[in-house]
Amino acid sequence: MTSSLWMGAICAITIGLWLAVRTMIRGKPDLPYPPGPKRLPIIGNALDIDLKEPHVRYTEWGKTYGLYF
């Protein structure tokens, strides 16, 4: 039981270090993200979308942020 806990901790630390190094190497992206609505961490804009008629919200966002075709 203890060895699996240690292995899990070692894997988590390794993944965390790998992500940190990868982020430092890449730096900031060259282009900014396109405009859009503010989002929440993890779930994004999932709570803003009506499940029965999502196209209505997408059309509103398109008109608001200039991505309407």
Q: Which residue has the tokens 């292995």?
A: 7
| Alpha helices for 1-69 (secondary structure H) | 2-26, 54-65
**Banded pLDDT at 2 (limits 50, 70, 90):** confident
Domain count, the chain: 1
Q: Determine the structural domain holding residue 18 and report its residue range.
A: 2-65
Is residue 35 a contact partner of residue 63, using CB atoms and an 8 Å limit?
no
Instruction: Give the whole-angstrom CA distance, residue 15 versus residue 65.
Output: 36
pLDDT at 36: 77
The predicted-structure confidence for 19-60, as pLDDT tens digits, reads as follows 888 777 766 666 777 777 788 888 888 888 888 999 998 888
